[in-house]
Each structure stands twice: as C-alpha cells, then as structure tokens.
Amino acid sequence: MSTLGKASGVLKSVDYEVFGRVQGVCFRMYTEEEARKLGVVGWVKNTSQGTVTGQVQGPEDKVNAMCRCSCSVDAASCVLQLKPL
C-alpha cells in the first residue's frame, strides 16, 4: 500500500460540475491552487455550456474539503453538483 493510502485511510474520487459565474474569474486557477494545498489530484476544465467540470481524487477527508471550498470564491453565484459515477 502506498504511503498516501496508509496515512489517510479511504481514498475517494469525485466527478463534479460547477454552475454559475465560474468562467472568466480565474476559477480553474483557484481550484488548482486549492488542490495543491490540500494534496489532492485531478483535473478541471471549462465547458462550452459555461460551466466548469472536473474530477478530484485523494484521501476522503481532503476530497470532501475540496468540494466544500470549490464554491468559496463566489459562493452566492456558484453551485457545485457532484456527478454520479
């Protein structure tokens, strides 16, 4: 087992889409920076529908924290929707 798995227990992977004012406001850059701080991995990209979609993977507690902070840039106009796997 990897050090990551031993240290933090359960690993989690979440697909998500963020709706609201998330393009043209450095949302992807913010997301990437927060992911680095938390120690999770994944990807994030703009969609042609004006949303941002992505995936985040890592220890369950850190993935949950990432999902909570994903909308803190502009919480009033941002909705995070987790996608079923």
Give the residue numbers marked as catalytic. Answer: 28, 46
Q: How many alpha carbons fall within 13 Å on the CB side of residue 76?
A: 0
Token digits for 12?
A: 């989690």
| Cα of 10 vs its chain's centroid, Å | 17
Residue 33 falls in which region: left (phi positive, over 0), alpha (psi -120 to 50) or beta: alpha
Whole-angstrom distance, CA of residue 53 vs CA of residue 51: 7
